[in-house]
Structure 1
Amino acid sequence: MKFLSLFILMLSNASFIFSQEISNVSLAWAGNSVNTVVFRRNSVITYKKNQFTSFYDSAGNVVLAKRFLNSNTWEIKKTQYKGNYKDAHNSISIIIDGDGFLHVSWDHHASKLRYAKSIAPYSLELGPETPMIGKNETQVTYPEFYKIKGGDLIFLYREGASGKGNLVLNRYETKTKKWFRIHDNLIDGQGKRNAYWQACIDKSGVFHLSWVWREKSDVATNHDMSYAKSLDGGKTWLSSKNDNYTIPMNISNTKPILIIPQKSELINSTSMTTDDKGNPYIATYWRTQNSTIPQYQLIYLNDNEWKVQQVSSRITPFSLSGVGTKRIPISRPQVVVDKKTVSVIFRDEERGSKISIATNSNIDSEVWNITDVNNDDVGQWEPSYDTELWQKKKKLNLFVQKTGQGDGEKTENLPAQMVKIIGIKLSR
């Protein structure tokens, strides 16, 4: 293991400097992007002075690891559980509740819920695999954990299949140490489509949710961007104009915040955050109707109006179509906001498949500066980060591993690669 600290001058704007710290964790499976998909919520997470992460090794074992923050010594635990690691949907998601217990969900692609909890606070030893509720848990995909005020947890997942599924919402109470169902069907595909969402909870406890619709299993049928928020932990939902939404929300009783036609190379399952005032920011990509080139885009709420900015200036066209995990020349993006500075994190073959960050220090200026964090080729990596550490201390810790990805759920002949936690600080 190595710990490095280095400074990289921003190529396009010399007033920005990235400070980078790298901590090597362990070698892990890299034949596809299952360890590095953008929708891992969470891949790495901090609780008090401890940071936890997880990944599949090259035999498909679920592996957990933890360290003290600012230490480079990782405690690594190969658990008793395995997953179908050759399907990139089947990622591992983790969270720490308010009592310090680790919760883990893994190995899902329209399959039975797999969930376990640590036997003690701060422990990497998992207890037995158990249901959460025991209902609507047979066709699970995209498990995501979120922590709310007081240390309780929210758990989101899709029940059903691509192009035909619903969004389920559970809550965990630290007081009772039990899960209960808030909504069997928060966003209803009505048997005809499904919502691909991204979510976040802001520092005031407001639950923000946005989504694109997909009409069929073909990714080319993604369209539109919608949004809703909850002020009561996910029970009731409002539009950005504070109009009440009927539950379940569907394509008829909600209005999109932005019309994006099918076959626009609109990607699904990206990222969302808020600024200190609770204004939501959604990062994604699509191509406009007068262009053949998909560009990274930022959709954000400013003065109660939804606005769009093009983040990138890419020159290479590509097309999204087909089913399964695709091999795509760019990653899905992550977005974070610190005061007035918005940063979009991504990987693009045009830039050598490196970790890149587009930064705007004044959103009203619409000026974006893009730099590469280092010179490493990260393959088919997509960004995920320590959401708790960012929210509490504005420290950006990325889960990074070079991974392959064959088109349509295929794997590549790439040997095990090092899992790294890379801390990045942007300064002027």
Structure 2
Amino acid sequence: MKFKLLVGALAFVAGSWAQKSAAYLIASEPAKLRAGVPTDVFVAGFGNDQGTQFLQSAIIGAKVSRDRFPQRQRVIISAVNESLSAESAMLANAGFGFRKADNDDLGKERLVLALQYLNAPISSLQFYGHANTYNGFRLQDKRDRLDHEDPEFAQLGSVLAPNAFVVFHSCNSGWLLAPAAAKMWRRPVFGSFASSDFQEMMTDGNWYYHDVGYYPENLTRIGTTSRITQQTLECTTKKCLRLKPVNSPYVDSFGTFSRGLGFYKVFSPVDALIPQATIHFTLLTPTVKPLTLQSSRADLIDAVKDWMCPSDKSGVRRRACSEAIDTQAFMTNPTLSFFNGTPVACNNTSCSTTVKCKVLKKLVGAVPCTTVDLDSRKSTVFSDQLKMIFKGLEQFELGTLKL
């Protein structure tokens, strides 16, 4: 179907749903999926106070997938935030064909069914949305979240390809969601140990948290750019968003935490899967280079620096981190860290700090969650993860990665 006809058809379907309160939609590229073809899936939860920013982040993630892996299929599953017609048009303008709209909530059961119905191996599964430590990831209804103890959560592993990885782009997803998912699904899963905030690329070619005061005053949004994908993108306000953990411990109404990390931490019960997963993640992350499967080692390292190093306004920590990667200081300094606080200590399956929550405190307006140290081990996460990344780089150069 030609693109103009696709947009028209999408607008017609969206219009016919306008009288209903559609709760979620599914869109894909191509519009007609083929069974058995590797598929990257992007799940955008209900934005609430963030509007459509989670959906916008999923769309730019899908555009990166299209750029890096054109042979794959892409599916976006999104809670409707403000307007079905507007959000359907947003997807159509990004080249996605409309598959389904449903006036029921995007619940756990429907997510599992939607993924199973694809009848395709899921090569990556990325979640964008709100999460908290005591009841999980918000798909739509805040009272019915995707929690690591839910039977539906366990079922998600059955749709993942052997070389798949998963990311929870949300606040505090590393404490419980990511390690539990990795254990159940036997796949590498990335999670955060801090707030995850929205970033946009600025005119110096770097990504910054886009709230006023968090990027240098002399910079503006990049506008049109070919620094993210081979194809030029229009990146005016909130059109090219990504999520990245904040480089300081989490402090908010849900909890006050003593430790954290400023990057996504990968968990996996199988150590051998981690090097490949980190490169796969790097290739599918909106970053500072329009990467390809033929990219140079130097370009990949620049992209790794972008997601592993702090995005501080001054650039001081970013530059120090970048230099440490260039000199491979992480090889000789196991406790190296650029976190603005005390980094959490973890291995590939668990951490030395956990989160304890008393939900009743939230009901009376008190902070419900806090961190509890299980031992006094110092964090080696930054160095450990970079060692795995550099193993992945070696495999990438040898052509032995199964992407």
Is TM (by shorter chain) over 0.5?
A: no
TM-score normalised to structure 1 length: 0.28
Structure number with the higher strand fraction is 1
* TM-score normalised by structure 2 residue count: 0.30
Which has a greater percent of helix?
2
